[in-house]
Chains A and B, each alone.
Chain A
Amino acid sequence: DTGVSQDPRHKITKRGQNVTFRCDPISEHNRLYWYRQTLGQGPEFLTYFQNEAQLEKSRLLSDRFSAERPKGSFSTLEIQRTEQGDSAMYLCASSLGQYNSPLHFGNGTRLTVT
């Protein structure tokens, strides 16, 4: 069990550019979640997958955001036409399929849009 891995750790981009983040969950976990955290705030839910199916999306996930988990293993989160308000820590988490399974988080990708 190597934990949840996220790449890159930091990303600096100019406004208007597209960025993509990757998350590798714990191998036996079939649920994968994306959260966003801004400074001084708790994480906010963005979306989650059960295997390869995206089952829930937050209203925070505008049309510029898209997430995929093509083979039910790793996931990508893409932000198109980035805006300064997208600057945040993007956290990925995974869990087993049981409803009371705790979430295990990665160390996040910190995005800075200049």
Chain B
Amino acid sequence: KQEVTQIPAALSVPEGENLVLNCSFTDSAIYNLQWFRQDPGKGLTSLLLIQSSQREQTSGRLNASLDKSSGRSTLYIAASQPGDSATYLCAVKGSNFGNEKLTFGTGTRLTIIP
């Protein structure tokens, strides 16, 4: 059974700093990994999707990396802003045919201090 862990559960950093969020998963047989952000009381917004054959993806100030063999992914946020405050979730999709299920971590709640 796939398990996804995100540590730390909460993180506070001053505005302008660069930061890294961590995600680990137990079964390396994944098809892709997706990072989402969730604002309080809202749904999830897709940030980046990394296919299993890729090592990283970038979008603006965000960079996600994937090391499938070690079961790890990181989300790097450059020059953090107060608007980046949210909960960040990672999710993996298994590689077995027909499996559409995403398995999520419990998220890291990020607070950027102005």
Contact = CB atoms under 8 A, between A and B. Distances in A.
Interface centre among A40, A100, A105 (most CB of B within 10 A): A100
B78 interface: no
B112 to A, nearest CB: 20
B114 interface: no
A103 interface: yes
A42 B89 contact: yes
Interface residues of A, number: 27
B100 A102 contact: no
A21 interface: no
Interface in A17-49: 31, 33, 35, 40-45, 48
A91 interface: yes
A4 interface: yes
A53 to B, nearest CB: 12
Contact of B44 (A31, A56, A58, A105): A105
19 contacts: A4-B43, A35-B102, A41-B106, A42-B89, A42-B106, A42-B107, A43-B104, A45-B102, A55-B100, A56-B98, A93-B44, A100-B31, A102-B46, A105-B45, A106-B43, A107-B42, A107-B43, A108-B42, A110-B41
Interface of A: 4, 6, 31, 33, 35, 40-45, 48, 55-56, 58, 91, 93, 99-100, 102-108, 110
Interface of B: 4, 31-32, 34, 36, 41-46, 49, 51, 89, 91, 98-107
10 closest Cβ pairs, A-B complex: A42-B104, A105-B43, A105-B44, A45-B101, A102-B46, A107-B43, A102-B49, A48-B100, A42-B106, A108-B43
Given A40-B106, A102-B49, 6 more contacts: A33-B100, A42-B104, A43-B104, A45-B101, A56-B98, A102-B34
